[in-house]
């Protein structure tokens, strides 16, 4: 069999796992047991994304020829009815099976580290737990933490890793820097060295240059402390006047002043706002596992209640804001209503909890509030401020008499009961759908529907104007600590029906994609779609991307002139770039149309024209 052979007899069959075995043809004979366990956890959570391939033998059993790791993982999941029947791609003959066994492993390609780093960072920002990221990618949690440390690097560093300009260890060396401006300077020097054929900076040199004997004024510590307090403590200021660069030449003094000022800021904040305690940390961010590592509890602001009249007013103002018709006074009123709706911490919460204060990369103070220390948890639970932990380990717990299969049936019954109850509250169902489409629950789901990204922005946006409701995401800010979806949904519903339905429409329409031509034509007719309202051809987005002969014919057709007309022959003598610019002017500049003396029919033809294949 060659790679050009067309396989037409391959079929998918549902095979009981008990009738499967690992074929001798399968080339993967050595596996890592821990990796198989991680893969099994991934399959249990996400399902089997790619089916194994097999060949039926003379006894009727099916040998797995491609997908040996998946087969071993499925063997660990036979307590789950979902994986007791497996979809297998069946090879029609021995030769095909052997080809599949070799080809699948030869074509496998791991995700590039830079792409993996970015993906991990995006998932973390969406609130996905490290353990869940590890399961999704089939890696260890330690591996995830190392990648997340790299995800905070400036984008140009990750771009250099992606294009091969630096190694993973070189990228890791950049993580010691708190000064983004200095990071980019060292990166530029590294790239310059590569261009000269010197191989770039090694790990040690990168670290040395990122931690010099002085600190630039763009460092977050310097921005927070300021020159006056630093000088008052005996610190020396240096720099290059012509380059407009200031340096703090005594890093030890800077660190001392930074720590003292931050500690005092925390104490002042605690006293001014009634918190039991305030703690200052010198890091530039709070890690994903901060509350877990410190064994802190967490409480959240008590949301406010709007009156019926206030809720209606809030909906009206929000509608005006969506249409860019809200004045400054209305914006102030809407902000006040939103503040009331968001609520605040109660005096009781503040009496048992505290805040953590740190300085971000731009030198500003950030406050994370509502942490409860371990020694205060019991009092907070007794006061009804903190819910008791639902994750306490019960030692020697008796084995449940309910089997996994029965538990699955009971879960289905519970789901059916919930669906049954929601049938009588369609408004609640729509609110919940909007909540999911807006991305408020991250990778969790309220409905068993998939929402793929639908590309609607071309590679160049010149001449393309899309309604901002399809391009601007909901700006509601979320703390990475707030993972209480029930509380978030309750807050979400307080926006009012009008605003929620507007959000539902925005996000639902943003996922519109119709593959049926007949249905698409019907929708276009019902909505009176006019593509030219959104798209105007320009030299950049169209004319410069087709050949000169096409432009000649288009110029002639649009003006309704014969091929030998002087206006057409003069156009044909232009360079391609000049032709593209002249056509752009014809479409966009009324003065050009006037100069050509175009008739109404010619102008109408230009205003309605679209490239072939568009409607």
Q: Region 201-215: what's the mean pLDDT?
A: 78
Report CA-CA distances (Å) from 560 to 117, 554, 580, 601, 606.
56, 10, 18, 10, 11
> Strand, coil or helix: what is 177?
coil
pLDDT at 5 (0 to 100): 45
Residues of the chain above pLDDT 90, percent: 14
**Start-end of H helices in 213-250:** 220-232
In words, the CATH class of domain 11-107 is alpha beta
**Start-end of H helices in 451-575:** 485-493, 497-510, 517-527, 531-534, 548-559, 566-572
CATH number of this structure's domain 113-256: 1.10.10
Q: Work out the pLDDT band at 199, boundaries 50, 70, 90.
A: confident
Render pLDDT for 325-336 as a digit per residue (tens, 0 to 9).
788 888 888 888
Spatial neighbors of 446 by CB under 8 A, at least 6 apart, are 432, 433, 435, 436
Average pLDDT of the residues of the chain: 80
Distance, CA of 266 to CA of 356 (rounded, Å): 8
Spatial neighbors of 210 by CB under 8 A, at least 6 apart, are 173, 174, 176, 177, 179, 182, 183, 186
pLDDT at 409 (0 to 100): 67
Report CA-CA distances (Å) from 40 to 65, 67, 111, 139, 412.
19, 13, 20, 12, 23
CATH topology identical between 11-107 and 113-256? no
Domain boundaries, the chain: 11-107, 113-256, 262-382, 427-459+477-512, 532-608
Phi and psi at residue 3, to the nearest 5°: -70, -15
Which tops the pLDDT comparison, 587 or 203?
Answer: 587
For residue 393, pLDDT over 50 is answered with no
Render pLDDT for 271-321 as a digit per residue (tens, 0 to 9).
999 999 999 998 888 876 788 888 888 888 887 788 888 888 888 888 787
Distance, CA of 468 to CA of 466 (rounded, Å): 6
pLDDT at 111 (0 to 100): 60
For residue 506, pLDDT over 50 is answered with yes
pLDDT at 594 (0 to 100): 85
Spatial neighbors of 231 by CB under 8 A, at least 6 apart, are 237
Render pLDDT for 37-70 as a digit per residue (tens, 0 to 9).
878 887 887 777 778 888 899 899 999 888 888 8
pLDDT at 137 (0 to 100): 64
Render pLDDT for 114-144 as a digit per residue (tens, 0 to 9).
877 887 777 777 777 777 777 656 677 788 8
Residues of the chain above pLDDT 70, percent: 86
Rounded to two decimals, the pTM is: 0.41
Partners of residue 15 on adjacent β-strands: 86
Render pLDDT for 65-104 as a digit per residue (tens, 0 to 9).
888 888 888 888 898 888 889 888 898 888 788 777 766 6
């Amino acid at each position: 069999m060659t790679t050009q052979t067309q396989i037409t007899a391959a079929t998918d069959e549902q095979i009981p796992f008990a009738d499967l075995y690992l074929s001798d043809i399968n080339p993967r004979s050595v596996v890592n047991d821990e990796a198989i366990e991680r893969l099994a956890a991934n399959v249990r959570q996400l399902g089997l994304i790619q089916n194994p391939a097999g060949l039926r033998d003379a006894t009727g059993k099916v040998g797995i020829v491609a997908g040996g790791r998946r087969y071993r993982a499925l063997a660990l999941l036979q307590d789950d009815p979902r994986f007791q029947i497996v979809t297998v791609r069946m090879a029609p003959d021995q030769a095909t099976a052997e080809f599949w066994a070799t080809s699948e492993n030869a074509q496998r390609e791991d995700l590039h580290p830079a792409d993996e780093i970015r993906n991990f960072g995006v998932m973390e920002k969406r609130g996905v737990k490290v353990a869940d990221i590890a399961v999704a990618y089939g890696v260890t949690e330690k591996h995830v933490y190392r990648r997340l440390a790299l995800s905070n690097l400036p984008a140009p560093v990750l771009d250099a890793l992606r294009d091969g300009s630096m190694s993973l260890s070189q990228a890791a060396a950049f993580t010691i820097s708190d000064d983004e401006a200095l990071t980019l300077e060292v990166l530029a020097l590294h790239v310059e060295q590569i261009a000269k054929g010197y191989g770039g900076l090694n790990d040690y040199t990168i670290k040395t240059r990122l931690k010099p004997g002085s600190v630039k004024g763009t460092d977050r510590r310097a921005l927070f402390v300021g020159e006056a307090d630093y000088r008052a403590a005996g610190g020396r200021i240096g720099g290059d006047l012509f380059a407009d660069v200031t340096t703090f030449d005594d890093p030890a003094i800077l660190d001392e002043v930074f720590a003292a000022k931050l500690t005092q800021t925390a104490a002042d904040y605690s006293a001014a706002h009634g918190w039991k305690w305030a703690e200052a940390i010198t890091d530039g961010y709070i890690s994903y596992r901060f509350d877990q590592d410190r064994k802190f509890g967490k409480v959240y602001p008590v949301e406010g209640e709007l009156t019926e009249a206030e809720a209606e007013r809030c909906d009206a103002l929000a509608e005006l804001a969506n249409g860019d018709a809200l004045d400054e006074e209305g914006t102030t009123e809407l902000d006040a209503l939103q503040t009331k709706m968001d609520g605040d911490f109660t005096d009781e919460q503040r009496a048992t909890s505290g805040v953590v204060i740190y300085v971000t990369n731009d030198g500003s103070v950030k406050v994370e509030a509502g942490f409860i220390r371990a020694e205060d948890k019991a009092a907070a639970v007794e006061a009804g401020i903190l819910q008791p932990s639902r994750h306490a380990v019960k030692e020697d717990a008796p084995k449940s008499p309910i089997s996994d299969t029965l538990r699955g049936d009971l879960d289905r019954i519970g789901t059916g009961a919930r669906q049954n109850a929601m049938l009588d509250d369609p408004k609640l169902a729509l609110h919940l759908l909007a909540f999911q489409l807006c991305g408020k629950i991250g990778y969790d789901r309220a409905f068993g529907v998939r929402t793929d990204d639908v590309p609607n922005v071309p590679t160049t946006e010149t001449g393309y104007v899309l309604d901002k409701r399809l391009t601007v995401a909901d700006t509601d800010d979320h703390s990475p600590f707030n993972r209480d979806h029930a509380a978030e949904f309750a807050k979400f519903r307080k926006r009012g029906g009008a605003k929620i339905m507007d959000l539902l429409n925005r996000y639902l329409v943003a996922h519109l994609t119709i593959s049926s031509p007949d249905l698409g034509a019907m929708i276009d007719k019902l909505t009176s779609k006019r593509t030219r309202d959104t798209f105007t051809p320009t030299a950049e987005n169209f004319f410069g991307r087709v050949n000169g002969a096409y432009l000649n014919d288009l110029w002639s057709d649009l003006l309704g002139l014969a091929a030998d007309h002087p206006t057409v022959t003069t156009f044909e003598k232009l360079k391609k770039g000049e032709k593209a610019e002249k056509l752009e002017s014809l479409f966009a500049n009324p003065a050009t149309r006037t100069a050509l003396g175009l008739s109404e029919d010619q102008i109408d033809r230009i205003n309605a024209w679209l490239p072939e294949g568009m409607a």
